[in-house]
Amino acid sequence: MPYTLDQLNTASQAEAEKMLDGLYEHTPWIAAEALKHRPFKSLAQLKHVMAEVLARADQDAQLALIRAHPELAGKAMVAKTLTTESTNEQGKAGLTDCTPEEFARIQKLNADYNAKFGFPFILAVRGPRGTGLPRQQIIEAFARRLDNHPDFELAEALRNIHRIAEIRLADKFGAEPALGNEVWDWHEALATHSDPGFAEQGQLTVTYLTDAHRACAAQIAGDMAAAGFDEVHIDAVGNVVGRYKADPAVRHPKTLLTGSHYDTVRNGGKYDGRLGIFVPLACVQALHRTGQRLPFDVEVVGFAEEEGQRYKATFLASGALIGHFRPEWLDQADADGVTMRQAMQHAGLAIDDIPKIKRDPSKYLGFIEVHIEQGPVLNELNLPLGVVTSINGSIRYVGEFIGQASHAGTTPMDRRRDAACAAAELALYLEERAAKDGDSVATMGLLNVPAGSINVVPGRCAFSLDLRAPTDPQRDRLAADVLERLQQIATRRGITFKLEETMRASAAPSAPAWQQRWERAVATLGLPAFLMPSGAGHDAMKLHEVMPQAMLFVRGENSGISHNPLESTTADDMELAVRAMQGVLDELAAETAKP
């Protein structure tokens, strides 16, 4: 019989410790210490408290925990001296059936890894879905992590240990993330569609209105219909729109809008965008299964285009909902010379109807969006969810310092007009100035000495500036300081510069009431409501222009890497995202029902 949370909360300390025995390999003190913080609202809270206990422990204690783990497919496995939990995990991942070549490869990796880091390689081999990673993926992860910096790898090992504990805890409490598993499986199925040239290599690329893109739309529409949406259609720009209608007793119900995009970058991840479609799908499915109706309609939109890959029309899909579709885009051609108009006609879209999909904001309560974080913050903090305070505003520039190219051997240091040194100085200033704000970011992503040579003082240096901050005034102060410093550097070094502003996007601060609904929903799950800005742009930025919006972030694995095939989250984190959205729906239903 699996334990219940109630049993854990009411048991004596000794009994409770016994219930959690084996969560952390040969290291019972973590659970023991965490149990002093009972009662727990949820297993999510218990997991968070255990992660905090370990984070506060000194490094020796952390290392001892890592070293208490057996090597993967190592001597202990062969000699059958693993703990029951480890035997189960390594067996599920098929490590007990390694071919002689695989076994030899793993032994070599074990030896190299131990020599570099001084502790065994730890990987939650049951993987993000809990069903076991394929051996090939385990070996690839092993080889990849060998290249990590030791500080980072120590943290990564601890994160994997928490994931192992999470799965062991779910086993003890019979707490399968059923909703999260469904959300996971929808993503897997959708990821089988990929554009030609990428599909063959096992890469995921879905760009606007390709065959794979239209197959995705059809699949999402089918998933929506199966989940119990009342109306499902594909609109004039290729958005998949599902509506779950309000309780018929409610007269003139308003609509809650939610969703995200299903297109991807080239060789991208499976969860960017799509998580924001499937999480609300799971919510509607749960409502439908229990025959529940809310006092408002729920409209879920799978946006057709956000990434701007095939055509330079980023946010085309969410933009169309607020009347921002620009007819001149239709004549833009892709790399193969196919215009957007031709692509739309080929897909059978009714181009003339595009203006009609503009929404009337007065009919909407607001917009919420769930998205994978696409950054390392939640992963580092061992937090599954984060509440977004604002989508950062940004300004981009491209520029060039123009100094004097001269002989690297004969030009004395005090007679140089080195354009690259000027850019380097500016890059270091960006780093220092953005850090001072705490939540601003500034990047010189392009830095190039055109036609440079090893024995020539750089006469020109081209660079880019990408400046972002949670509010427009903060962004503007950052930009003003950077431009002032750029001017000073040029003057002092006796060089000139060119600078062109190429992009300016306003910040989209979350509507306070909507942000607070997410905060309360996360807190109800027993988790801290961690507040963070979004460094990346999202569909919510567009809807922000016409209605209140707020976003929820979900932790990404692998240090939150995104726009990359390694992008991942777990079924457990997906489950929490579904539960958080259910919390927002419940609260909104209670508010709306009030006279």
Residues found near Zn ion in the complex (CB under 5 A): 272-273
Identify the CA nearest to 208 among candidates 299, 300, 320: 320
* Residue closer to Zn ion (CB basis): 165 or 300: 300
User: Of 318 and 471, which CB lies nearer to Zn ion in the complex structure?
Assistant: 318
DSSP 236-285: TTS-EEEEEPPPTTSSS--EEEEEEE----TT--SSTTTHHHHHHHHHHH
Q: How far is the CB of 520 from Zn ion (least distance, A)?
A: 25
Question: Are 513 and 548 in contact, with CB atoms under 8 Å apart?
Answer: yes
Nearer to Zn ion, 303 or 463 (CB): 303
Which residues are CB-neighbours of 434 under 8 A, at least 6 positions away?
440, 441, 442, 467, 478
Residue with Cβ nearer Zn ion (238 or 273): 273
At its nearest, how many Å lie between Zn ion and the CB of residue 581?
17
Query: Least distance (Å) from Zn ion to the CB of residue 304?
Result: 13
User: In 3-state terms, what secondary structure has residue 366?
Assistant: strand
Residue whose CB is less far from Zn ion, 273 or 548: 273
Distance CA 331, CA 341 (A): 6
CB-wise, 159 or 371, nearer to Zn ion? 371
Q: Nearest-CA neighbor of 110 among 152, 78, 81?
A: 78
Closest approach of Zn ion to the CB of residue 562, in Å: 8
Sign of CA dihedral 561, 571, 553, 158: negative
Question: How many helices (H) and strands (E) are present in the chain, helices listed first?
Answer: 21, 16
Residue 268 sits at φ, ψ, to 5 deg, of: -90, -165
- Residue written as tokens 């992590």? 145
Nearer to Zn ion, 138 or 391 (CB): 391
CA 195 to chain centroid, in Å, comes to 22
CB-based contact 328:344 (threshold 8 Å): no
CA–CA separation, 319 vs 303, rounded Å? 10
Q: At closest approach, how far in Å is the CB of 370 from Zn ion?
A: 11
User: Quick one: 273 or 386, whose CB is closer to Zn ion?
Assistant: 273
Q: How far is the CB of 185 from Zn ion (least distance, A)?
A: 20
Q: Work out how close the CB of 273 gets to Zn ion at its nearest, in angstroms, rounded to a whole number.
A: 4
Cα 544 from Cα 540, distance rounded (Å): 6
Pair 403, 419: CB distance under 8 Å = yes
Nearest distance, CB of residue 224 and Zn ion, angstroms:
19
> Count of CB atoms within 10 A of residue 112's CB?
14
What's the min distance (Å) between Cβ of 259 and Zn ion? Answer: 11
Cα–Cα dist 546/332, whole Å: 27
The nearer residue to Zn ion, 89 or 369, going by C-beta atoms, is 369
359: left (phi over 0), alpha (psi -120 to 50) or beta: beta
